[in-house]
């Protein structure tokens, strides 16, 4: 059920939408009519419409909304484990937990929400560390900036992997391309973790794509006929590119074969080299999505 105490009195630029599966959903109104919708479970961004009204994120029509359940699409927060690369539940601990709305503001340039969460008995039962996490969402007319901040509040160091698992909407992924990865090495998780070098060409989507590109410093561009989206990261050294392809999508009950053509995941991530934080230390990583 929704935790009413986690939602203070809301200003005019933040609207509470009808709950979905007992989960609270907020809409942030930004400049020139841009909007973002966020589920307080997971601080999960569900929708981003820029000032033109175009939906820039994919949310599966079969996404499950229920306490503790992962939501398929939008921008899930991955922490402290990426995917199944470890002993924790897939993609970590935070996407199925309620976050607290801690800040909201708005001016002529941007509107902003911030959510916070800290360790609890539930998290320490799986991952025995004390932490504080904050997700800051900044909405502009033609851009969305999402930043994850983590503080080690325990007396000992810990390490983690993390990502902003962005599902970017496209009309047809089969004619979409990603620019900016030419001649870069990548780990091909769709082929047993083999290492390869990307050719001197844009990345296209033909069947399953599941890759980790390390140490990507420059912005990428997701292009489809008539539309371009610039994707830039800061603090996250790796880029994960994922689309399940029809066969795998058909096996996912919250997705389905017919939906895999509607998105490309370009994720800001720290996968291959875990972040190490000592007691009291802070880390921050963000992703900026900007219409181009």
Q: With beta carbons less than 8 A apart as the criterion, state whether 261 and 244 touch.
A: no
Q: Is 103 a catalytic residue?
A: no
- What element of type H or E holds 187? strand 185-188
- What element of type H or E holds 47? strand 44-49
- Burial of 175-187, coded b for 16+ CB within 10 Å and e otherwise, reads ebebebbeebebb
Q: Given the residues 37, 140, 223, 267, select the one marked as catalytic.
A: 267
Q: With beta carbons less than 8 A apart as the criterion, state whether 235 and 269 touch.
A: no
For residue 179, the SS3 value is: strand
Q: Which residues pair with 270 in a beta bridge?
A: 162
Q: Given the residues 13, 129, 165, 187, select the one marked as catalytic.
A: 165
Alpha helices in the chain (DSSP H): 121-124, 245-250
- Where in the sequence numbering do the catalytic residues fall? 165, 267
């Amino acid at each position: 059920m929704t935790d009413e105490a986690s939602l203070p009195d809301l200003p005019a630029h933040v609207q509470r939408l009808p709950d979905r599966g007992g989960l609270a959903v907020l809409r942030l109104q930004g400049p020139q009519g841009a909007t973002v919708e966020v589920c307080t479970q997971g601080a999960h961004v569900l929708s981003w419409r820029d000032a033109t009204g175009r939906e820039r994120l994919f949310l599966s029509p079969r996404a499950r909304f229920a306490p503790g359940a992962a939501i398929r699409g939008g921008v899930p927060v991955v922490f402290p484990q990426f995917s199944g690369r470890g002993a924790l539940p897939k993609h970590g601990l935070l996407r199925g937990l309620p976050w607290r709305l801690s800040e909201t503001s708005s001016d002529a340039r941007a509107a902003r929400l911030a959510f916070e969460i800290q360790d609890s008995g539930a998290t320490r039962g799986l991952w025995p560390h004390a932490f504080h996490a904050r997700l800051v969402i900044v909405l502009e007319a033609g851009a969305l900036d999402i930043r994850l901040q983590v503080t080690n509040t325990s007396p000992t160091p810990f390490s983690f992997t993390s990502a902003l698992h962005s599902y970017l909407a496209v009309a047809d992924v089969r004619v979409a391309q990603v620019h900016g990865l030419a001649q870069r090495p990548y780990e091909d998780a769709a082929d047993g973790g083999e290492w390869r070098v990307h050719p001197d060409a844009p990345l296209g989507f033909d069947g399953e794509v599941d890759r980790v590109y390390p140490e990507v410093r420059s912005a990428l561009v997701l292009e489809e006929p008539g539309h371009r989206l610039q994707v830039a990261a800061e603090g996250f050294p790796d880029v994960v590119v994922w689309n399940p392809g029809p066969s795998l999508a058909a096996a996912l009950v919250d997705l389905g074969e017919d939906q895999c053509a509607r998105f490309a995941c370009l994720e800001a991530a720290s996968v291959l080299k875990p972040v190490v934080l000592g007691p009291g230390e802070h880390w921050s990583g963000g992703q900026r999505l900007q219409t181009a």
